[in-house]
Amino acid sequence: MKKLLTLIFIAAMANTNVHAQGCVAIKGTAGVCSRPADAKGWELNLNNRYFKSYKHFVGPDEQKQRVDQGTNVINHSYELDVTATRTINNRWSLAVTLPIMDFKRSSLYEHANSGRYTTGSFGIGDFRFSAYRWMFDPKTSHKGNVQLGLGIKLPTGNANYMDYFHTKTPDSLLLGPVDQSIQPGDGGTGITLEINSFYNFTHKLGLYGSFFYLSNPREVNGTSTARGGTPSATAKKYNTDVMSVPDLFMARGGVSYMVKGFNFAGGVRIEGLPSTDLIGGSRGFRRPGYILSAEPSITYVAKKASFNLAVPVALKRDRTQSNSDKRITADTGKYTQGDAAFADYLISVGMTFRL
C-alpha cells in the first residue's frame, strides 16, 4: 500500500501548471492533487518555472526571418508558485496558491525602433482558492481514481503594471503599461475547473491525466495597449486599444514508472489561450494560441518531502486568429492573423514539504 500511495502522490505532484511558453499571455496557475490517503495535515509546494520565448509564429508557421533580422521579441519569464494544501480527510482537500512573477521583455517595435530596450514587471500574480474531492473511495479504489476541483481566481495581481518606453526623440521616455504577456495579473475574477486522474497497472507502472480550465467572464480590463501613447483609430474600432481578460486551458497525460524513491514520467501536454471565451465576451487585445509539448519529468519522494523536475519541449506552436483578427478579415475580405513568440522549452522545478 505504501508504494501505491507513493505512486499516486508522484503522479499528482508531477508538473500540472499552466503557463504557455511565450507571448500567449497565460499566467501560471498551479494545479493541486492531494494524496488519497487517511493522512491529514498541511503540504507546502514551491514550484519554480523559467522560459525564454523568442521564436515568432503566425498560425503554425515559424517566422524565422524575425530572429535572423533581430526584430523578434524576447521574453524572459520566471515564476514562483507558492501553494499550501490542507488535507481534510481521504477525499477532501483545500488549497490556496499565490504566484510571484518576474518578467523581462526586450523589443525594437515597442521603442519606436530606436534600439532594443527592455521593459519588465515584478510582483504577485492572481491568488487562487480551490476545493478538491476524490470521486471514488480511496479505501476501495486502489488501482485508479478521479479527483475534481473547483476554485476561484481573484485579481490580486497588477493588470496595469507600467514601465518606460523609448520614443523617436533621443533621451525621451514615455511611461505606459507593459505588454500583456508580462502583466502580473489579468484583471478578472475567474472560475477554475480541474480534473486529475490516475490508473495503476502495478505498484510501479501507471497512467496519469489532468485537465484545467480557467473561465474569465470579464471581457476587458481597461489597460491600454498603446504603451503610454494614443491608440490608433483602427485599434479603437476593433477594440484592441485595451487588453482582454481571456480564458485559458491545459490538458496533459502520460505514463509513470517508479524505481525505489524515483519516479520517471513521460507524456504530452497541450496548453493555450482560446480566441473565444466560454462565458462573456471575447473582445479586447489578446494573442490566442496553443503549444503542444512532450513532457518528461523525474520526481524523488523522501519521507517528508518530494522534488520534481519537468522540462516540457515544444512539438507544435500555433498562434490562432483572435476576435479582432476575425472581424478585420470579415470587414476587409483580407485574411488577417497576428503573431506571437513562443519558447522551445520550459524548465519547472518543484519542491513539496509535508508539514
Q: How far is CA 313 from CA 21, 266, 294, 344, in A?
A: 10, 11, 5, 6
Task: Of 159, 38, 186, 182, give the one whose Cα is nearest residue 102.
Answer: 182
Q: How would residue 7 be classed by pLDDT, with cut points 50, 70 and 90?
A: very low
Looking at the 3D structure of the chain, how many domains does it have? 1
Do strands 74-87 and 127-134 pair parallel, antiparallel, or not at all (unpaired)? unpaired
Residue 306 pLDDT = 96
Residue range 33-85, pLDDT digits in tens: 545 555 679 999 999 999 999 999 999 999 999 999 999 999 999 999 999 99
* Percent of the chain predicted with pLDDT > 70: 89
Residue 40 pLDDT = 77
Question: For residue 259, with 0-12 CB atoms within 10 Å meaning exposed, 13-18 middle and 19 or more buried, which class applies?
Answer: exposed
Which amino acid appears at position 346 of this protein? L
Residue 191 has pLDDT above 90, yes or no: yes
Residue 27 pLDDT = 58
Contact 177, 240 (CB under 8 A): no
Residue 30 pLDDT = 46
Q: What is the pLDDT of the chain when averaged over all its residues?
A: 91
Angle at Cα 194 formed by Cα 190 and Cα 196, nearest 5°? Answer: 165
Residue 170 pLDDT = 86
What's the number of CA atoms in the CB half-sphere (13 Å) around residue 6? 24
Residue 13 pLDDT = 42
The CA distance from 252 to 310, in Å, is: 13
Entry pTM: 0.92
Residue 38 pLDDT = 53
What's the number of CA atoms in the CB half-sphere (13 Å) around residue 104? 9
Q: Which residue has the higher pLDDT, 81 or 30?
A: 81
Grid coordinates in use for 290?
A: 496553443
The full 3-state SS of the chain, as one line of letters, equals CHHHHHHHHHHHHCCCCECCCECCCCCCECCCCCCCCCCCEEEEEEEEEEEEEEEEEEECEECHHHHHHCCCCEEEEEEEEEEEEEECCCCEEEEEEEEEEEEEEEECHHHCCCCCEEEEEEEECCEEEEEEEECCCCCCCCCEEEEEEEEEEECCCCCCCEEEEECCCCCCEEEEECCHHHCCCCCCCEEEEEEEEEEECCCCEEEEEEEEEEECCCCEEEEECCCCCCCCHHHHHCCCCEEECCCEEEEEEEEEEEECCEEEEEEEEEEEECCCCCCCCCCCECCCEEEEEEEEEEEEECCCEEEEEECCEEEEEEECCCHHHHHHHHHHCCCCCCCEEEECECEEEEEEEEC
- In total, the chain counts a number of residues equal to 355
Across 114-118, average pLDDT: 96
- CATH number for the domain spanning 80: value is 2.40.128.130
Across 2-14, average pLDDT: 43
Across 107-128, average pLDDT: 97
Residue 271 has pLDDT above 50, yes or no: yes
Residue 39 pLDDT = 61
Grid coordinates in use for 30?
A: 498551479
Across 247-272, average pLDDT: 96
Range of the domain at 34: 2-354
Residue 23 pLDDT = 62
Angle at Cα 73 formed by Cα 110 and Cα 116, nearest 5°? Answer: 55
Q: Which has the minimum average pLDDT: 6-15, 93-102, 303-312?
A: 6-15
Residue range 276-292, pLDDT digits in tens: 999 999 999 999 999 99
Across 178-207, average pLDDT: 97
Residue 242 has pLDDT above 50, yes or no: yes
Residue range 331-351, pLDDT digits in tens: 999 999 999 999 999 999 999
Task: Of 308, 293, 288, 296, give the one whose Cα is nearest residue 345.
Answer: 293
* Percent of the chain predicted with pLDDT > 90: 86
Contact 346, 19 (CB under 8 A): yes
Task: Of 249, 184, 189, 238, give the one whose Cα is nearest residue 214.
Answer: 249
| Phi/psi of residue 280, nearest 5 degrees | 90, 180
Q: Which has the minimum average pLDDT: 4-8, 27-31, 168-172, 270-274?
A: 4-8
